Structures are given as structure tokens and as C-alpha cells.
Amino acid sequence: MACCESWREALTSGGPVRFAWDPCVYEPSDDTWIAVEALERLGALGYRFESVLDLGSGTGVLAAVARTLFNPSLVAAVDLSPYAAKATRLTLGPDSLVTAVQRGEVPERSLGPGYLKPALPSCRG
């Protein structure tokens, strides 16, 4: 499975956030940037999180933004697409917990707040 080694950048109140780009993964769109704004507002209000879970991670940009804004001790991301899981793994680095799951699977560990985005089609290989 090939993952494009292309990078993009998002500017946030916590600074720039780089994320991996793969044409087989849902491109961050309006819903993503609305969620980024919500995270920035939470940060401005003084919220802090020990762990974050990005459900339907896509490129991993929301998990990366949450890491930048809140500096949690654990960042985890889950997606149905192996392409998205690979892009997220590139975005977050080797020390983060990233997995591709099949429908109906539930991660065993309980985490703090998560970010859920609508399921969108991805490339199949």
C-alpha cells in the first residue's frame, strides 16, 4: 500500500501543524476546519486534556492540532481506511497510537474526548 509522502500545513493558534497527504484519504474540508476552530476555542477557554482520540482520523490533522493545542500525554487515532491510518501515522509520528479497524471493532482502552467526523468513501486497494 503506497502512501504519498506529500505534506500540507494548517495554521492554528498554537502554531503551524504539518500533516501527511494521500489522494486516497478524505482531504480536510470545511467540517475539519470548523472542528479546528472548536478546538482552538476550547484551548482559549482553558480546557486541557490528558488524552485525545480522533475517530475517523483521515489525515490525522485534528489529532495533530489537538496535540499542538493541549499537549496531551496520549494521542490515539482510529480510521476504517488503512490509507488513512497510514497517513495519520505519518502525521503523528511513531510514538502515537494509530490503527485501522473493521466495522464493529472497539478499541479496548478507554480514552478521553474524541472527535467524530462523518464516514466518507476512501480508495480501496
| pLDDT tens by residue, 45-67 | 999 998 899 989 999 999 999 99
pLDDT over 90 percentage in the chain: 49
- Between the CA of residue 17 and those of 14, 26, 36, 63, 98, what are the distances in Å? 9, 17, 11, 10, 18
Instruction: Report the relative pairing of strands 97-100 and 51-55 from DSSP bridges.
Output: unpaired
- Cell for 109? 482502552
The whole-number pLDDT of residue 27 equals 86
Full set of structural domains in the chain with CATH: 6-116 (3.40.50.150)
CA end-to-end span of the chain: 7
pLDDT digits (tens, 9 = 90+) for 91-109: 999 888 888 877 655 555 5
Rounded to an integer, what distance in angstroms lies between the CA atom of residue 32 and that of residue 116? 10
Rounded to an integer, what distance in angstroms lies between the CA atom of residue 36 and that of residue 10? 10
What is the pTM for the complete model shown?
0.79
Please report which confidence band the pLDDT of residue 112 belongs to, taking 50, 70 and 90 as the band edges.
low
